[in-house]
Chains A and B, each alone.
Chain A
Amino acid sequence: MVLTVVERDGEGRLTAESAEVLAAARDLAEELGVPVAAVAVGETGDLPEDLAKQGVAQVHLLQHELLADGGPACTGEALAGLVADLRPTAVLAADSDRSTEAMAWAAARVGVPLATACTAIRPGSGDDEWEVTRERSGGILLEDAVLDAPIRFATLRPGAPSPSETAAADEVTVHVVVPELDAAVPRARLVDRQPRAAGMTLATAPVVVAGGRGVGSAEGYAVLEELAGLIGGAVGCSRVATNNGWRPHSDQVGLTGTRISPDLYVACGISGATQHWVGCMNARAILAINTDPEAPMVTRATWAVIGDVHEVLPAVVEELRRRSGR
C-alpha cells in the first residue's frame, strides 16, 4: 500500500497539493501493483467525495482529542502508530510545513529515513533501495539519492508533471482510527490563532517590485512602492535589505524568505545570488534594473535596464503617469 497523508483547506476540501501527491501515489502504486490509501486527521466531512474523484477507495481518519490542538508532532505520533499497523510500502505527503513536520516525527518514531523536498521517487532494483530526486539549496541543485528503508517516507514538492487522469472510485471506505496517545507525555498545544488579514500578499501578487542593496536606504523604497501601486504589485526585497533593517523580513524573496511565482518580477539593484534566485526563478518574466550588465539577475532576466535605480525608477514612474494622464 502507498499511504498518502492528505490535508484539507479552510473549507474542508482536499488541498491542491494533496491532490498532486495523490496523483504521484497513484503512479507509484500502479507500478508496484499495490493500492493507494489516504490518511487524514479529523472528521469525515467531504473527504470521501474528494478522494473518490482521485480514485482513492480507502481512507484512514485519525481521531483523538489531543490531535485537535496537538500540532504536527502529535499528528506524527498518530501517523507512526498507523504505519506500524499497516506496514505500507511507502508513505507520501506534500512538502508543506505541517506535513513535513508530521512526517519527520513519524519517520523518527518508526526508525526510518525521510526524503523531503522530492521531485521524483522511483522504486529501485534492490529490495529496499529506491531512488529519489530531491531539491537542495532551495532547488537550484537537484540531488539523486538512495532511500534505503523497509518503509519509504517521502514528501513531494509541488509542480510535478500534471496529474494523470484517473477513474473515480465507486466507494470510499472510511476507517476511523483512534491512535494511542499517552496524555502524560509533554506536548506543545495550540492556544491561540489569529486569522490572516485579507489583501494582497507577496506570495500571491501578480507583480512584485523588489529592491536590493542597490536601493541604498529604507527611504529609497518609496519609488518602488509608487511603481508597485501603478502596476498592481507588491513590494519585495533581498536579504541585504532585510538585514539592513530597510524592509521587514516578510518582504524578503528567496530561500529563507518567500518563494514567489508572479507574472512579472521587477528586480531593482539585486545581484541575483543563488539564494535570492530560487525565490523568484518561477516568475513568468523578469525585468532587471542594475548598474552592472554582468550581474546574474541581468543575464537571466527577460528584459534589463542598465542604470542606477535612482534615475531609472523615477523616470519610469513619470512616464507611466504621463501616459495615463495622472
Chain B
Amino acid sequence: MVRPLDVLVCVKRVPAVGAEILLTADARAIDTRHLGFTIGPHEECAVEEAVRLVERAGGTAGVLTVGPPEADEQLRYALSMGADHAVRVHAPVADPDPEATAAAITSALRELPPYDLVLFGEASADAGHAQVGFRVACALRRPVVGGVKGIEVDADRVRLRREAPEGAEVHEAPLPAVAAVLEGLNLPRYPTIRGRLRAKKAVVRVVEAPQPVGGLRTLRLRHRSEAHAETIVLGRGAAAAPAVADVLAELGVVR
C-alpha cells in the first residue's frame, strides 16, 4: 500500500577539499578561503532517496541543516535536486560538535510538523563523528538503522537494507523512523536548470534552537605524516610495458 510520506534529510555544509588540504593559522580548521563547499556523498544519496520516495508515494521531501547563513547554499542545492522545502537551524559556528548538532536537530524536529522518515548520512564528510543520526533517534525514541543501502516503505513500516560482516541484512521498523545512509544507495541526479531556478526562488525557513556545547572540543588539526619515497618513472606510453612487466614479475603477482 502506498501512502504519502513526509521525509526529512539532514545535510551539512563541508569544504570541498582537493588533493592538498591547507589549515588555518591556528590549525583549528581547514583554510577554506580558496575552497568551494558541498554536502557529503552519503547525504547527497539521502536527498536523492527522499526525492524518489516522495515521487513514488506522494508527500514532501524536506532538507535541514544546522549552520550559518552560508549553509543556505547547500540547502538550495538539495532543493535543486527536487527537495520541496528547506529549514536552517541557525548556528553561529560552521562545525558544531556532534552533541550540539544533535540537540539542535532534535529540538527543531520537536517544533516542525512530524516526519515519517528522517534521513542522515552515515558520517559527515569532514568531521566524520558517525553519531548525529543515532543521537537524534535516541533522544526522540525512534527506531534507527545505520549503514543503509536500500529503503522500502510499505504502509506504516520501512524495510532497511544494510551490509554486515555476516552478509546483507534487512531490518524492519515502524514509522516514524530514522536511517543513516551510505553512498551507493542510489545514483544521485544532477540538478536540472528548472530545478536550479526553483531553488533560487525558494524561501529557506530559519529556526532557532538551543545548542548546548558538548564535551568534544577540537584543539588542533594536523596532517598525518606521510613519507613518500621518490616515484620511479618506468617510462612513457606503450614503450613502458616491458618495464611494467618486469616490476609485476618482481612482485610475484603475475599468474
Contacts and interface: CB of A to CB of B under 8 A. Distances in A.
Nearest to B224: A142
B128 A116 contact: yes
A105 B134 contact: yes
Interface string A148-171: 110000000000000000000000
Contacts of B25: none
Interface in B181-212: 182-184, 187-188
B134 A305 contact: no
Interface in B115-136: 125-131, 134-135
Most buried by A among B214, B226, B229, B243: B214
A137 B128 contact: yes
B49 to A, nearest CB: 14
A81 to B, nearest CB: 13
A306 to B, nearest CB: 5
B245 A147 contact: no
B231 A191 contact: no
B236 A306 contact: yes
A277 to B, nearest CB: 7
Contact of B231 (A107, A138, A304): A304
B2 interface: no
B58 interface: no
A307 B135 contact: no
A6 interface: no
A186 B228 contact: no
Contacts of A9: 165
Interface residues of B, number: 88
A113 B242 contact: no
Contacts of B184: 242, 248-250, 252, 257
Interface in A272-304: 272-275, 277, 281, 285, 287-288, 293, 296, 298-304
Contacts of B187: 242-243, 245
Contacts of B128: 116-117, 135-138
A125 interface: no
Given A186-B141, A188-B172, A194-B168, A272 B253 contact: no
Interface stretch (A42-50, A71-79, A218-226): A71-79
A255 interface: yes
B237 A307 contact: yes
Contacts of B144: 73, 105, 188
Given A98-B164, A193-B169, A302 B232 contact: yes
B155 to A, nearest CB: 15
A10 B174 CA distance: 29
Interface string B224-249: 10101101111111111111110111
B128 to A, nearest CB: 6
A275 B17 CA distance: 8
A100 B133 CA distance: 12
Contact of A299 (B99, B188, B231): B231
Contacts of B170: 190-193
A298 B19 CA distance: 12
Interface string A120-155: 000000000001000111111111111111000000
A141 B225 CA distance: 9
Given A135-B128, A230-B254, A306 B233 contact: yes
Given A73-B134, A192-B169, A273 B19 contact: yes
Contacts of B130: 100-101, 104, 116-117
B171 A305 contact: no
A146 B224 contact: no
A40 to B, nearest CB: 15
B70 interface: no
Contact of B171 (A190, A287, A301): A190
Interface stretch (A59-67, A84-92, A315-323): A315-323
Interface stretch (B60-68, B71-79, B83-91, B215-223): B215-223
B166 interface: yes
B102 interface: yes
B164 A140 contact: no
Contact of A274 (B21, B166, B221): B21
Contacts of B138: 73, 76, 104-105, 108-109
A232 B255 CA distance: 7
Contacts of B236: 305-307
B143 A143 contact: no
A136 B126 contact: yes
Given A140-B223, A311-B238, A320 B254 contact: yes
11 contacts: A136-B128, A137-B126, A141-B224, A146-B217, A188-B172, A231-B255, A242-B184, A288-B231, A305-B234, A307-B236, A324-B255
Given A116-B128, A141-B21, A248-B184, 6 more contacts: A10-B166, A98-B164, A144-B221, A193-B166, A307-B240, A316-B241
Interface of A: 9-10, 71-73, 76, 96-98, 100-101, 103-105, 107-109, 112-117, 131, 135-149, 185-196, 206-207, 230-233, 239, 242-243, 245, 248-250, 252, 255-257, 263-264, 271-275, 277, 281, 285, 287-288, 293, 296, 298-308, 311-312, 314-316, 318-320, 323-324
